[in-house]
Structure 1
């Protein structure tokens, strides 16, 4: 749904698309007429074009025909495999970073060549080129959307080994980042055996906490891998929350990333996101998955919630995609039974949502998300339990919640949304009551 808003607000000139396609194809043809060193220079220029592309452009440029053409140039020995890998790593990096889903590569002859090379290199008993195998897995792992069980096993083990490097130079950091990136992409396409790999990822995170050897993107990718395993392995929660201190680390990363974003730049002036902005979006999506499946909570999450609220407030005027992602995340948090409602009040989430509802003209999607946020809170405030301490706390929180609604003129706000509320009831949220007071006045 968030992507739909983005697509509506961005339109790429068809001439520009055609120009990018022609420009890239021209470079590709030139590669076959260059020696290996000249090829590398051309590919550096091609990588710059790739980095500048919008998501919509990838589909027009990276077609099955283009990948087949690359395979033909390799076959006649006019393009070195070293340079092909160099180019595909950049394409795959941008695919994953910008959340592009393109299935053209897996249908191509070049894909079949890579699959055969990975298996052959793995099976070698003599003259095995470990560096080549790692590079093949990185480029293939980030760009393909289909993996056989054999290829998953080879690629993930190989990439984890590469990501476990203890070297701290810039080149090694980049290679570790690419390895973790590829693992995340494979995990996005298939359900992995997380139990088999979690100890390695845990070791990578612990080493980073001690030596700060990962890039921001590599750090985010390692956490994303663990969080992706939450629906399948209950034991992950204890490791994530208590051993690795997920909330503390996530809050720290968000704080640092916030410093890299120009929050004052208007939406229409934003243009292409910086790498830090894309990593920030990836973190918000990782947090959404965590709060969807987590059942464990500790005090460190108060600081994380406060940080999420600050991102929401910073993005509300000029950074629509981050802002919409934050709305969705806050709704998930409100629905999470592990998080007590008084934390949402103290963390500023309720105030932040109220402020946005009253000061801005909202569209239907925003209205829906905000109203469901308060519906989830009010439903939970009605839940009584046979526990004296719980009941006393619930009543105190309920009183504070209602006082906040009255203080901010909340009833008037709800009344103004009455028609839209009925629309949502019919179209999107069949559980809503037509009697708004059930949720908001008598909460």
Structure 2
């Protein structure tokens, strides 16, 4: 039997079971979900299936608590594997769940059920969360995420709540008063007591950074109070130690695969920060250095991670608030040169490299005021030129001329076809 056939057989058999047996079958179904690829996932979780789940709940042939065990797992899998599932929004289950969330929040009889409902809805609902539910959901999930007990069960509950909060994308505006004190306390407590799982910690930062998209006033908290650059560097370095970079990605065990997944999620947070922040922070140099080190570790067997590192550093090069000499001191220019010289360079890596060099070149040609600044700029340009020459930059410039056809057909936004812009002038 295929995964789809096994799923259908187990799902259709739920009505024939009592609640205890239903829970056992749901656990089997959740195991099948873990094995699904994106195409299988999308073909199974349709409007029709969500409507069927709603019908079973309405007929009392499937308890609401048992249904949430399935739906939370579906949502978690969708989020971590980046599967497409846009059918929940238009289902009858979605409409029913909105009513249930409001009713449970008013009755205040069953806090755990309300948390389950909020998690299911937030995981699966891909449109902007309606205003009337937003404060209920954020308050409920932050309360669940604020538990400080160190036992494994509580850690799992906190991780689920924070992962769910991280699903609230940066297009959803949330009033600062609804979340800032709570999420700041969660992150600070973890910094002192290390009570969160790696995924939970990343998710907490993801939620906060998504709010940064709307509210740039958060930068003071993110940089000076919570020390994002320092914490991101520490997490990347700790995660890196847990991965055998000499193994190919498909040869890794379950625990290593989880660590790699968290590393990949961190890049969403780091890129947003490097692309948007304005406050200079000395701790940033360490974060950039960690990204450079991870490129060297991952380039042979983890091209996706390598390119995400390059993408983050390219964002930093575009940010005029990141000082250029940091790229020189931390080896960023060298590592981009090395990537351009790789025989296996692909389109995505090439794009990041070209844009990085374009931004560096443009920035050191910018006119500045003051004799001291001018002198410093000329010295910096000289050092960069020497480093480029030392690392084989002349060969890279030659390779640009081999890319004319590639560039003219890709039409990347902001990527000039004027090759002279990629040269470093002294």
Aligning the two structures, in what range does the TM-score lie when normalised by the shorter sequence?
A: over 0.9
Deviation at 1:413, TM superposition (A): 2.1
Per-residue deviation, residues 159-209 of structure 1 (Å, max 9, x unmatched): 111111122211111111111111121235623234531121111111111
* In 2, Cα distance between equivalents of 1:54 and 1:430: 32
Deviation at 1:401, TM superposition (A): 0.5
**1:19 corresponds to 2:2:** yes
Alpha carbons 2:311, 2:352 under 8 Å: kept: yes
Alpha carbons 1:284, 1:325 under 8 Å: kept: yes
Change (3 A) 1:165 1:430: closer
The residue correspondences of 1:260-409 to structure 2 (distance < 5 A) are 260-266=242-248, 269=251, 274-409=257-392
Per-residue deviation, residues 56-115 of structure 1 (Å, max 9, x unmatched): 332112111111122222222221111111111111111111222311112222222211
Of residues 29, 35, 60, the one that matches 1:46 is 29
Change (3 A) 1:258 1:430: closer
Alpha carbons 1:71, 1:110 under 8 Å: kept: yes
* In 2, Cα distance between equivalents of 1:240 and 1:373: 25
Matching residue of 1:9 = none
Of residues 159, 163, 180, the one that matches 2:145 is 163
* In 1, Cα distance between equivalents of 2:167 and 2:76: 10
Per-residue deviation, residues 29-54 of structure 1 (Å, max 9, x unmatched): 12111111111111112111212223
Alpha carbons 1:105, 1:144 under 8 Å: kept: yes
The runs of 5 or more residues in structure 1 that have no matched partner are 1-17
Matching residue of 2:11 = 28
Matching residue of 1:440 = 423
Of residues 143, 154, 166, the one that matches 2:124 is 143
Per-residue deviation, residues 348-399 of structure 1 (Å, max 9, x unmatched): 1111111121132323332222111111001101112113333232222211
Count how many residue pairs are aligned between Structure 1 and Structure 2.
Answer: 424
Deviation at 1:28, TM superposition (A): 0.7
TM-score relative to the length of structure 2: 0.93
Deviation at 1:434, TM superposition (A): 4.8
* In 2, Cα distance between equivalents of 1:218 and 1:257: 14
**1:99 corresponds to 2:82:** yes
TM-score relative to the length of structure 1: 0.90
* In 1, Cα distance between equivalents of 2:270 and 2:66: 37
Alpha carbons 1:263, 1:318 under 8 Å: kept: yes
Alpha carbons 2:170, 2:213 under 8 Å: kept: no
Matching residue of 1:181 = 163
* In 1, Cα distance between equivalents of 2:314 and 2:179: 31
* In 1, Cα distance between equivalents of 2:194 and 2:415: 48
| Between 416-425 and 300-309, the greater mean CA deviation after superposition | 416-425
Deviation at 1:223, TM superposition (A): 0.8
Change (3 A) 1:36 1:429: closer
Matching residue of 1:128 = 109
* In 2, Cα distance between equivalents of 1:231 and 1:76: 43
Matching residue of 2:53 = 70
Change (3 A) 1:431 1:202: closer
* In 1, Cα distance between equivalents of 2:83 and 2:404: 34
| Between 256-265 and 333-342, the greater mean CA deviation after superposition | 256-265
* In 1, Cα distance between equivalents of 2:239 and 2:157: 21
**1:216 corresponds to 2:198:** yes
* In 2, Cα distance between equivalents of 1:161 and 1:343: 40
Secondary structure of 1:384's counterpart equals coil
Change (3 A) 1:380 1:195: farther
